[in-house]
């Protein structure tokens, strides 16, 4: 009986977390679009924080975004060059395709299927699944990001990372124009 209770309790605690999404501030200085956020050269600093342990992994990145075509059928390619605090370097490239007003799909080397992007209410919501490779193997993770403009002119990307639908980590990435 105790075992069933513990399993049911753990499931009940996990269910609200499954729907967890980061939130944008109530007041935003200006609406943001995928192209306005990532077109051209930008740099950023970020931190990946594991919820259970509080462990952090910090990184910097240089991004270059280039849009081609005309709305509502543009393509935005964003190359991300990461350097992590432990010295590891990585390059990932997003290719986003506009599918309609305020809607895009995207793919990156590590994504499983396509990412969904929705521009609404002045923010960008990016949802995708990716295979994270490490020395111990491959881990499939879900990402729910919200990207918004901050009053100081930076672009903030806040994300919730989940495994098996349960939030396990948070990411904050602050992007600046040079």
Q: Report pTM.
A: 0.85
Domain count for the chain, please give it: 1
pLDDT at position 31 is 87
In the structure, what pLDDT confidence band is assigned to residue 30 with cuts at 50, 70 and 90? Answer: confident
3 state SS for the chain = CHHHHHHHHHHHHHHHHHCCCCCCCCCCCCCCCHHHHHCEEEEEEEEEEECCCCCEEEEEEEEEEEEECCCCCCEEEEEEEEEECCCCEEEEEEEEEEEECCEEEEECCCECCCEEEEEECCEEEEEEEEEEEECCEEEEEEEEEEEEECCCCCEEEEEEEEECCEEEEEEEEEEECC
pLDDT in tens, 90-107: 999 999 999 999 999 999
pLDDT at position 12 is 38
CATH of the domain at 18: 2.40.128.20
Q: Is the pLDDT of residue 3 over 60?
A: no
Q: Is the pLDDT of residue 149 over 90?
A: yes
- The residue range of the domain holding 132 is 2-176
């Amino acid at each position: 009986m105790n075992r069933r209770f513990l399993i049911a309790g753990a499931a009940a605690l996990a269910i609200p977390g499954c729907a967890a999404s980061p939130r944008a501030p109530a007041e935003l200085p200006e609406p943001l679009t995928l192209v306005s956020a990532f077109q051209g050269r930008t740099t950023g600093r970020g931190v990946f924080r594991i919820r259970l342990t509080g462990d952090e992994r910090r990184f910097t990145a240089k991004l270059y975004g280039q849009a081609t075509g005309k709305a509502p059928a543009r393509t935005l390619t964003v190359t991300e060059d990461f350097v992590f605090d432990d010295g590891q370097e990585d390059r990932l490239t997003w290719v986003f395709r506009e599918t309609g007003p305020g809607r895009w799909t995207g793919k990156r080397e590590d994504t499983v299927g396509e990412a969904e992007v929705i521009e609404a209410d002045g923010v960008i919501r990016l949802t995708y699944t990716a295979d994270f490779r490490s020395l111990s193997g491959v881990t499939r993770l879900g990402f729910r990001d919200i990207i918004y403009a901050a009053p100081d002119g930076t672009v903030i990307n806040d994300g919730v990372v989940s495994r098996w639908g349960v939030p396990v980590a948070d990411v904050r990435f602050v992007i600046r124009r040079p």
